[in-house]
């Protein structure tokens, strides 16, 4: 396996915590594991990576095909060949995590995007960096020189001293990777443009990829850092990367998900369950798959209603259950299928 590098290790980036991207090595996949899954409508496959496409279709998957120094990558496979109306994936980044760049201020710094990529279709592809409002974009092209070969790419984004850039826990910067958006959704490369663009003009490889049945695209080692050159990828431990991802999504899983509850009022039990980290905002809490519930004295009696799941704050969720007595009880959400879970979602 050959490896093509676009830039050597940078000399103007400081040591320490550099990488703004979360799950850049594609090691966390709470939602889909390693199963090839069709993801649409801005939803998530691997943690922190959202997918958008319309008019064509593809699957995403965590795999172990990766360049030297990495174990996982994110793989896309084309499953439909219609020319897309748009097709891209990317990561929204909290304003809190990019304030040091100085976006929109006189002190704004350049920053560099780098990643490893492999595709069965060689040619010109592109990325774009946009603000949260979606009215400023910096498109950049890159070339996959050889099909089915891992190559490292890097591109530097120039400072911007104007525009609206949020500084809080909402979308402060958005990396979008073009997988086939046509010319109507592109703009000239290598400059800040007014408009919400998926990529740059002339992204012929991406369009061809999206219309080639069975075509594959892999990415890993994605990094955004302050400076004008790419340094070596900053590896974080699995535990640390998982905690960063859990700020945005956490899944209660297991063959039996057991919540102990105390009498609240009006024949209602309430259980407040802790989340492993403080989430970005109060999460949306939902169930997934097929499950059931148990109750008082570890039996299935004296239960009045299906459990209601709510967010009780950034650090926990609440499970409510109607009962017919004030005795101490429990709420047992159990598996009747292998894919059952309770999900807390605080994505951007």
> How many Cβ atoms from other residues are within 10 Å of residue 159's Cβ?
16
| CATH 1.20.1630.10 describes domain 4-246 | no
The reported pTM is: 0.91
pLDDT at 329: 59
- In this prediction, residue 7 carries a pLDDT of 41
Convert the pLDDT of each residue in 72-125 to its tens digit.
999 999 999 888 888 999 999 999 999 999 999 999 999 999 999 999 999 999
Structure confidence at residue 331 (pLDDT):
65
Strand extents, DSSP E, 64-215:
73-78, 86-94, 111-119, 123-130, 136-144, 151-157, 171-178, 186-187, 193-194, 199-200
- CA end-to-end span of the chain, whole Å? 37
Which residues of the chain fall below pLDDT 70? 1-16, 254-267, 289-306, 322-339
- What's residue 299's pLDDT? 38
Q: Alpha-carbon distance 62 to 59, whole Å?
A: 11
Considering Cα of 164, then 170, then 173, then 178, what sign does the dihedral take? negative
Residue 296 DSSP code: G
Residue 183: predicted pLDDT: 82
**Token digits for 260?**
């102990």
Q: Which token pair is 291?
A: 């499950």
Q: According to CATH, where is 2.60.120.260 located in the chain?
A: 4-246
Predicted confidence at residue 56, as pLDDT, reads 85
Residue 310's CB: how many other CB atoms inside 10 A? 13
């Amino acid at each position: 396996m050959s490896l093509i590098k676009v830039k050597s290790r940078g000399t103007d980036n400081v040591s320490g915590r550099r990488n703004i991207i979360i799950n850049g090595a594609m090691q966390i996949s709470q939602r889909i594991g390693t199963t090839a899954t069709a993801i649409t409508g801005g939803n998530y496959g691997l943690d922190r990576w959202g997918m958008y496409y319309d008019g064509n279709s593809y699957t995403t998957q965590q795999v172990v095909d990766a360049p030297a120094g990495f174990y996982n990558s994110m793989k896309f496979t084309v499953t439909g060949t219609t020319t897309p109306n748009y097709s891209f994936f990317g990561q929204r980044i909290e304003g809190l995590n990019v304030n040091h760049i100085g976006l929109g201020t006189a002190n704004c710094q350049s920053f560099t995007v780098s990643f490893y990529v492999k595709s069965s279709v060689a040619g010109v592809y592109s990325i774009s960096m946009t603000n949260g409002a979606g009215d400023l974009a910096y498109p950049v092209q890159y070339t996959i020189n050889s099909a089915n070969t891992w190559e490292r790419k890097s591109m530097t984004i120039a400072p911007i001293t104007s525009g609206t850039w949020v500084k809080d826990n909402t979308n402060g910067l958005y990396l979008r990777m073009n997988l086939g958006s046509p010319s109507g959704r592109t703009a000239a490369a290598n400059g800040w443009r007014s408009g919400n663009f998926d990529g740059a003009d002339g992204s012929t490889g991406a369009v061809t990829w999206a219309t080639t049945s069975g075509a594959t695209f892999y990415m890993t080692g994605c990094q955004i850092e302050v400076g004008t050159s790419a340094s070596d990828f900053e590896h974080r431990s699995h535990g640390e990367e998982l905690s960063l991802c859990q700020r945005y999504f956490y899944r209660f899983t297991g063959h039996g998900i057991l919540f102990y509850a105390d009498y609240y009022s009006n024949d209602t039990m309430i259980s407040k369950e802790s989340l492993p980290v403080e989430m970005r905002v109060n999460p949306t809490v939902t169930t997934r798959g097929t499950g059931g519930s148990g109750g008082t004295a570890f039996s299935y009696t004296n239960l009045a209603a299906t459990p209601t799941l709510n967010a009780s704050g950034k650090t926990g969720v609440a499970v409510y259950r109607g009962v017919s007595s004030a005795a101490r009880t429990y709420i047992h959400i159990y598996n009747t299928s292998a894919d059952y879970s309770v999900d807390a979602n605080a994505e951007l």
